[in-house]
Amino acid sequence: MQSEPIAGRYELVEHVKSGGMGQVWRGYDTVLDREVAVKLIRTSAVTTDEDAEELARRFQREARITASIQHHGVPQVYDAGLDAPFDRLYLVMEYVRGSSLRAFIDPDRPLPIAWAVAIAAQICTVLAHAHAMPVVHRDLKPDNILVAPDGTVKLLDFGIAAVLRSDVTRLTRSGMVLGSDHYMSPEQFQSAQVTPRTDLYALGCVLHELLTGQRLFNGDNPFDLMQEHLHKPPMPLRTGRPDVPEALDELVLRLLAKAPDQRPADAYEVYEALLPLLPPSGSMPSVEERGPEGTPDPTLLYRRPNSPPPRPVTRPAADLAGPAPAPTTDGVSAREARHAIKNAFSESGGLLDEGRFTQAGELLRRAIETSAPVLGIDNPELLGLRARRAAVLALGGDHRRALAEFEALIAAYARTVGPGSDQVMDYLEQAAYCHAELGETTPALEQFRRVREHVSLVEGDVSERMIELRKMIGVLLMSQGDTKQALAEISPLHDDLMVLFGLDDERTQEIADLLRRLDPDDD
């Protein structure tokens, strides 16, 4: 983590990649407590104040152009600026989790046709939107294409490609050709006029690679590669893959035409050509249509259009109940692991004081992942860290992930201390609150009742904790519409509070209000 936040608010947490003109970092906006992507522009070419001013102008233009492409297939721009000195030009954007399209390409297993078509169709929707502005990407390639977990395709680095135009003086004066050699159009190699059809050529290169697992051309050096793009006819897809539909083969060949005016007129025309090849709504993928394991399915947007996200699944405690792995000294040492835990406690405390729950939770997660293989999942220090993370997630409103952590703690303490221990009951109570917040009334009631039995034996029926448990059980019964059982819980609680605190006490009045709602005719 950087000691000096960018612009006083953006903390750099993890380096993601380098390329083009700069670096991309995963970071945190300390003001809004959210994960962001921070792009830092390289300044190695800056040698004068004039160069620095030109770079700043370009950077502002990049931010404005990228921000103007308001499409779900382009990450949102949040902020941009120049943070002195000039090596602190920054662009803050939406951080998108997902898989690079590069991960989808395997020479031994070309992508299913439905997947390749779905990816290309989504790219076309973004390009059609951008080209209408008009903005040309100029550097479309698998590394600049991300598939989010829901199958949505995102085009990255639109801004860099948009502002580095041939009509703007280059910062570097080496005659650099803009673009990636394997996906560059003939007109880019010749420094000719770049148009939206330039992006269509790159799309053809990407489609060819998805469907064959091989790049379109593979010259031994940049000059040979340029000659192939300029003069060598592309090999039809069906030559090496007969199952490619003839219409798709013809479309890719048109996209790869050497002359721009021989390519499709625009991205919309390409989309219309792909439309009949997309999987129909409601269809299920066949065995042949399943793509690489562990990568998101880009056909979901067409098979289940505008569907809600999958139901979240919480790992049951049984999944976490196996024996602790043997400690290992590979990589991180036990001493380093304990130091990481200590630092995580300290740093997360400062973040919590500022209300930055998201960042605190992420910091604790990384420390847990670092320490668990070394210390073992039942290590007391590690369990303390997991308890801190569970509490942080719950405080931040992420009750689904908090529940998973509390269930892991229940399983661990059941193994090491016993299923009826105070620790198990403490975390069972917290898990019940999470279930209640998630609207999962039945498991919440079951867990609250188990905790109540334990607390009744240890603390009696009128401790502060017991009063809250009895109230929660009554409220949950009300939410289930079980008025009779709710009355059986709330009425004795009201009687106890009258004796303990009197009629005017706030707690007594709260329970009395519940009673009136349960039985409005009761005087």
Residues marked as catalytic: 139
Is the previous residue joined to 134 through a cis bond, with omega within 30 degrees of 0? Answer: yes
Q: In what order do the strands lie in the sheet with 153-155?
A: 99-100, 145-147, 153-155
Q: Degrees (nearest 5) of the Cα angle 56, 145, 263? A: 95
Single-letter code of the amino acid located at 213:
G
Q: Where are the alpha helices (DSSP H) in 438-505?
A: 441-459, 464-479, 483-501
Distance CA 405, CA 377 (A): 12
Please give the helix or strand (H or E) that residue 428 lies within, else none: helix 422-437
349 Cβ contact list (under 8 Å, min separation 6):
none
Q: How many CB atoms lie within 10 A of CB 391?
A: 19
Pairing status of strand 89-94 against strand 34-41: antiparallel
Rounded to the nearest 10 degrees, how much is the dihedral formed by the CA atoms of 404, 406, 407, 412? 130
Distance CA 326, CA 331 (A): 14
Quick one: which of 275, 210, 201, 264 has its CA closest to 237?
210
Token representation of residue 304: 């289940």
272 Cβ contact list (under 8 Å, min separation 6):
none
Q: Degrees (nearest 5) of the Cα angle 31, 6, 346? A: 60
Alpha-carbon separation of residue 287 from 57, 112, 203, 486 (angstroms):
52, 10, 27, 51
Distance CA 95, CA 35 (A): 6
Distance CA 447, CA 20 (A): 54
Token representation of residue 275: 């439309």
Quick one: which of 500, 444, 499 has its CA closest to 474?
444
